[in-house]
Amino acid sequence: MGLLEWLKDNRLGTYLFTRRRGELVGEDEYGNRYYREVGAEDPRSERRWVVYASRDEIEPSIVPPGWNAWLHHNLDEPPSRKPLPTKRWERPHRPNPTGTPAAELPPGHEARGGKRAPATGDYEPWRP
């Protein structure tokens, strides 16, 4: 990765700030590392940030819900110290697949051949 790539995504500034003022709080299952500002006067206004594991394009949807809540000050304790209880109906977190081969496509989408089932006759247009 060249110097221009570091400057483009502000990685150099984040790296320097993290080295100087950051305290590692935890890491998620994707390898993202979460930090908080050392010596913040008020815990409610402390800076919190994530350093993404991927060096490719930054994709914020890779942040799991518990860490997202901590980053936005909805939780006081990070999920590494106090994990969120999981409900029996919850599915594992999945990043946004839009623009990838795993993207969900509706029937009749051009990527699926552009053909869909004909209308069955149960459609009634709205009339004001």
* Half-sphere CA count of 84, side-chain side, radius 13 A: 19
Please check whether residue 75 lies inside any domain of the structure. Answer: yes
pLDDT at residue 6 above 60? no
Please check whether residue 98 lies inside any domain of the structure. Answer: no
* Average pLDDT rounded to a whole number, residues 120-127: 79
Residue predicted with more confidence, 6 or 22: 22
Please check whether residue 68 lies inside any domain of the structure. Answer: yes
27 confidence band (pLDDT: 50, 70, 90): very high
Please check whether residue 26 lies inside any domain of the structure. Answer: yes
- For residues 33-53, one letter each, b for 16 or more C-beta atoms within 10 angstroms of the residue's C-beta and e for the rest, the string is bbbbbeeeeeeeeeebebbbe
CB 91 within 8 A of CB 103: no
Could you tell me if residue 67 is left (phi over 0), alpha (psi between -120 and 50 degrees) or otherwise beta?
alpha
Domain extent, residue 9, equals 3-83
Query: Which of 6-20, 26-40, 41-55, 62-76 is the least confident region?
Result: 6-20
Alpha-carbon distance of 75 to 66, in angstroms, equals 8
pTM of the model: 0.69
pLDDT at residue 1 above 70? no
Please check whether residue 45 lies inside any domain of the structure. Answer: yes
68 confidence band (pLDDT: 50, 70, 90): very high
5 confidence band (pLDDT: 50, 70, 90): low
Please check whether residue 53 lies inside any domain of the structure. Answer: yes
Please check whether residue 78 lies inside any domain of the structure. Answer: yes
